[in-house]
């Protein structure tokens, strides 16, 4: 092997990828083979990244949006010697990806799973796999970098000036979320963002012309991007020139189009098995290695000098940059103490002292207030004391009541990157994905839309749960009570479908004081997202001197009103606006000497995590007569009402009519709840 050391390193990335995929009998070898020169040049010559400390805040971010090419990233992590940093998932200080992990690619407990997973493998900046998610999330990272720079940088102290690089394929650019994300990135003039487009003309079905003839360059120029091209993915000098051009660009994000072939470097140039996500096969592996002037029978070979070469490149450069950043932060801390404390708290996902001190409490009010309106009051009380809370909406800022109104809470726009209010446009999927990117950068984002449109954002909502990110997803207009807008806007199945996502707490408060507690729960966590589900219509503010304290929300479900004169005969369980109906039924039943208990169940997930004694205290097993009330699908309520209980809910879509008419048509009245209870007892 007489290649120069750069080519030797590139071919090591390629052959590690080939061998891992071949051994696993599963995976996509084509893109790692084709883009190895691009990724190598970026990491070895440009990326500001320290393998010994892969989470230092000043680092550049590298996102492999084409997550099926995961072996490209794992090979880089291994050869660069990236160290593990997460106490909860890894052995700190060990290799983030060992050669053993690569040899067990896609196998149980390997740090080299099929697609890159945040937290599971240090050096992975975000979980990718669903195409388009990585590049959309990278926009959030770039916005975060701009915001942090605008808030914290001072003359002589450029603490936050990192760049964000993301590798995308044809699949990423076909997915609609890429258009949403690219459009807002161009609008915001994110010149710290570089997408690397692997233009190889192949998808799983075959040639891209089967379904895709976009002029990608023209498309992105229309978005306001700088577009540059490298005609040969093997030309490392031209690749380096393109990255230099990106670094010099001002006022525009950059799309670097790299022309490649799947399986580039193999004898057949266009290898069909690589294109279709299959191992090359033993004979093709041998032929490919011969083409690389590689020992054809060697497996998982890392030649002498390759690791040392990475250590002398990205290792020394990254280590020096990180050490310089730490020294700069120390000096900064002496001159800008308060801001340095903010940075420290932010990076630890901690909250400043007194962050919740101004959260209002709400007096009893029969006419009440919409929970979305109460939420806006609480959000502003928190936001004024939590400087890195950013709020945004999919073109529904006032309708979903997420507008920040305190001094300094201006819009985040080009030239005003320190703004706290984001405008995502009518782009729900991008809004959720960008929020993930903001959270990955340690900011505290919330975004909003109507509950029925949560479907448009579901992949990114799911990923916030999978990555354990404390994103707050705010959904308003939460039931058939929406009225005249009709069934297209009346969510029916959405609560059940969101509750089905592991790791996502879905909180539907009954009144303004439950809203206040919901925000305390949502902010006081570091590893879990929340879906906060709120009403458009007014709901009564309950008299807590008569009923249970709203602090019960912290346990998911609690006794709101209890039976008088003995143990309850029947339990009424409700969420959100329907809690008022359950209370009305409770009063009616009490007048007829029926002992009823009302349980407010704002968050099933929180309740299910309580100890069994508490759950049995709230829902005594001996009381089998139970009624659930929710203006949504009844799916999932069996576990609370049992086989003998009654579920008052939706079994069809809604209808267009005024609020009261819709509720009466579908049986959502206090009288109907009381009637159902009496029928059950009878």
pLDDT at 3: 52
Neighbouring-strand partners of residue 491:
none
Convert 276-329 into a string of H (helix), E (strand) and C (coil).
CCCCCCHHHHHHHHHHCCCCCCCCCCCCCCHHHHHHHHHHHHHHHHHHHHHHHH
Q: How many angstroms separate the CA atoms of 123 and 201, rounded? A: 29
Sign of the dihedral defined by the CA atoms of residues 512, 517, 520, 525, in that order: negative
Catalytic residue annotation: 428
User: pLDDT digit string (tens) for 116-156?
Assistant: 999 999 999 999 989 999 999 999 999 999 999 999 999 99
Q: Helix or strand or coil: residue 229?
A: strand
Distance of CA 677 to the CA centre of its chain: 41
pLDDT at 262: 59
Enter the pTM of the model: 0.96
**CA torsion 512→515→516→517, rounded to 10°?**
130
Q: How many angstroms separate the CA atoms of 446 and 390, rounded? A: 6
Tokens found for residue 3: 């290649």
- Domains in the chain (CATH in brackets) are 5-320 (3.40.50.970), 365-540 (3.40.50.970), 556-681 (3.40.50.920)
- Name residues of the chain where pLDDT drops below 70: 1-3, 205, 262-277
pLDDT at 272: 38
Q: How many angstroms separate the CA atoms of 127 and 138, rounded? A: 11
């Amino acid at each position: 092997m007489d290649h120069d050391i750069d080519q030797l390193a590139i071919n090591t990335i390629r052959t590690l990828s080939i061998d891992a995929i071949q051994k696993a009998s599963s995976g996509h070898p084509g893109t790692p083979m084709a883009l190895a020169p691009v990724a190598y040049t970026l990491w070895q010559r440009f990326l500001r990244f320290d393998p010994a400390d892969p989470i230092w805040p000043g680092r550049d971010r590298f996102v492999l949006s084409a997550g099926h090419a995961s072996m490209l990233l794992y090979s880089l992590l291994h050869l660069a010697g990236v160290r593990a940093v997460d106490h909860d998932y890894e052995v700190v200080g060990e290799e983030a990806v060992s050669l053993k992990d690569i040899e067990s690619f896609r196998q149980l407990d390997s740090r080299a799973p099929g697609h890159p997973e945040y937290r599971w493998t240090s050096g992975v900046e975000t979980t990718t796999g669903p195409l388009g998610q990585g590049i959309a999330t990278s926009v959030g990272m770039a916005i975060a970098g701009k915001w942090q720079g605008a808030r914290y940088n001072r003359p002589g102290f450029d603490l936050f000036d990192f760049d964000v690089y993301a590798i995308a394929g044809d699949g990423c650019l076909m997915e609609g979320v890429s258009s949403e994300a690219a459009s807002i990135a161009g609008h915001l003039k994110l010149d710290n963002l570089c997408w690397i487009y692997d233009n190889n003309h192949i998808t799983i079905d075959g040639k891209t012309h089967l379904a895709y003839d976009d002029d990608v360059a023209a498309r992105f120029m229309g978005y306001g991007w700088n577009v540059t091209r490298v005609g040969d993915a093997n030309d490392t000098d031209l690749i380096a020139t393109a990255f230099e051009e990106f670094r010099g660009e001002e006022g525009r994000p950059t799309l670097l189009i790299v022309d490649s072939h799947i399986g580039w470097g193999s004898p057949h140039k266009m290898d069909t098995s690589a294109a279709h996500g299959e191992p090359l096969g033993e004979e093709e592996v041998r032929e490919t290695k011969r083409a690389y002037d590689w020992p054809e029978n060697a497996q998982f070979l890392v030649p002498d000098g390759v690791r040392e070469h990475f250590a002398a490149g990205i290792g020394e450069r990254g280590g020096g940059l990180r050490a310089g950043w730490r020294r700069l932060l120390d000096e900064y801390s002496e001159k800008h103490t308060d801001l340095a404390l903010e940075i420290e708290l932010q990076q630890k996902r901690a909250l400043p002292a007194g962050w919740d001190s101004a959260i209002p409490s709400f007096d009893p009010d029969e006419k009440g207030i919409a929970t979305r309106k109460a939420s806006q009051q609480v959000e502003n009380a928190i936001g004024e004391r939590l400087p890195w809370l950013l709020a945004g909406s999919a073109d529904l800022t006032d309708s979903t009541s997420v507008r920040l109104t305190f001094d300094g809470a201006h819009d985040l726009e080009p030239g005003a990157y320190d703004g706290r209010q984001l405008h995502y446009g009518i782009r729900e999927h991008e809004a959720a994905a960008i929020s993930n990117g903001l959270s990955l950068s340690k900011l505290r984002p919330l975004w909003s839309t109507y509950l029925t449109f949560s479907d448009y954002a579901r992949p990114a909502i799911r990923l916030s749960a999978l990555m354990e990110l404390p994103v707050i997803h705010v959904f308003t207009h939460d039931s058939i009570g929406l009225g005249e807008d009709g069934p297209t806007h009346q969510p029916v199945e959405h609560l059940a479908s969101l509750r089905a996502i592991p790791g996502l707490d879905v909180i539907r408060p009954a009144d303004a004081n439950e809203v206040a507690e919901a925000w305390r729960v949502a902010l006081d966590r570091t590893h879990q997202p929340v879906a906060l589900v709120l009403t458009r219509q007014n709901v009564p503010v309950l008299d807590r001197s008569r009923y249970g304290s709203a602090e019960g929300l912290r346990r998911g479900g609690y006794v709101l009103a209890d039976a008088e004169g003995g143990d309850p005969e029947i339990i009424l369980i409700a969420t959100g606006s329907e809690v008022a109906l359950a209370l009305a039924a409770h009063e009616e039943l009490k007048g007829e000497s029926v002992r009823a208990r009302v349980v407010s169940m704002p968050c099933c997930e929180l309740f299910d995590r309580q100890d069994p004694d508490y759950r049995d205290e709230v829902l005594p097993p001996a009381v089998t007569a139970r009624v659930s009330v929710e203006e949504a699908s009844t799916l999932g309520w069996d576990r609370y009402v049992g086989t003998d209980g009654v579920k008052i809910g939706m079994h069809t879509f809604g209808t267009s009519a005024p609020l009261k008419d819709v509720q009466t048509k579908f049986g959502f009245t206090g009288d109907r709840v009381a009637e159902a209870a009496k029928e059950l007892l009878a």
